[in-house]
Amino acid sequence: MNIADVITIGREALIITMMIAAPLLGGTLLVGVIIGILQAATSIQEMTLSFIPKLIVLVATLFLFGGWQILTLIEYFQGLLANLPTYLQ
């Protein structure tokens, strides 16, 4: 295993991490901004008002994209295992 292999594995791992985290973080961020604007406009500063909708969006996003996320992780891990003999040379 040379330094190029390590960099390639690390780069692919970061890309997979971003692909998996983007739907969860994007949905939560969007709901957080909308709730924050509504709280600023109405002067309601209740903590659960922002937490509960974010949690609902997070669960819904996991429900929608969870299968794809797991398949992406499985494919990446299978690729790592398939290339393991070439990395050990």
Mean pLDDT of the chain: 91
Is the pLDDT confidence value at 89 over 80?
Answer: no
pLDDT band at 57 (very low <50, low <70, confident <90, very high): very high
Asked whether the CA dihedral 52, 53, 57, 63 is positive or negative, the reply is: positive
Q: How far is CA 40 from the centre of its chain?
A: 28
Rounded CA gap, 24 and 61, in Å?
A: 6
pLDDT band at 45 (very low <50, low <70, confident <90, very high): confident
Asked whether the CA dihedral 37, 41, 43, 46 is positive or negative, the reply is: negative
Is the pLDDT confidence value at 9 over 80?
Answer: yes
List the domain boundaries for the chain. Answer: 3-88
Which DSSP letter does residue 30 get? H
Is the pLDDT confidence value at 87 over 90?
Answer: no
Residue that has been written with the tokens 């330094």 in this structure:
3
pLDDT at 88 (0 to 100): 82
